[in-house]
Amino acid sequence: MKKRILIVDDKETIAKLVAMYLSDFDFVYFDNPIKAISWLHEGNIPDLIISDIRMPEMMGDEFLAYLKGNELFKSIPVVMLSAEDSSSARIKLLESGAADYIVKPFNPMELKIRITRILI
């Protein structure tokens, strides 16, 4: 059975790009974390979550904090996508429990390798 990845990004093009390169996985997509959280609360537990950081309704770092603070969801690995490439931003997210951090624009092959390593 294919592993399932939840992707949350306000830009659907990013989600489509990721899904295209990671065709070994099944994807569920939401354009904001609030919708993703209600989907999770319906009993859906993905194998991994990929989340953007800058989103209008809820920022990715708040979404990460929510997930890591919830007993049901805290063990799901979360990979953050960001346009900001500052080491302080990366350190903050890794300290907050992110499994990895990938800077946009990313090389899809790098993303694929990083995601696959987490899921093996």
User: CB 31 → Mg ion: shortest distance, Å?
Assistant: 9
Among 35, 54, 92, 114, binds Mg ion (CB under 5 A): 54
Applying CB under 5 A, the span of 3-11, 41-49, 73-81, 99-107 interacting with Mg ion comes to 3-11
Strands (E), 1-120: 4-8, 26-30, 48-52, 78-82, 100-103
Binding flag, residue 52, Mg ion (CB under 5 A): yes
Residue 105 CA to residue 34 CA, distance in Å, equals 25
Residue 59 CA to residue 45 CA, distance in Å, equals 21
Applying CB under 5 A, the span of 5-13, 71-79, 89-97, 105-113 interacting with Mg ion comes to 5-13
User: CB 28 → Mg ion: shortest distance, Å?
Assistant: 18
Binding flag, residue 100, Mg ion (CB under 5 A): no
Which positions lie near Mg ion, rule CB under 5 A?
Answer: 10, 52, 54
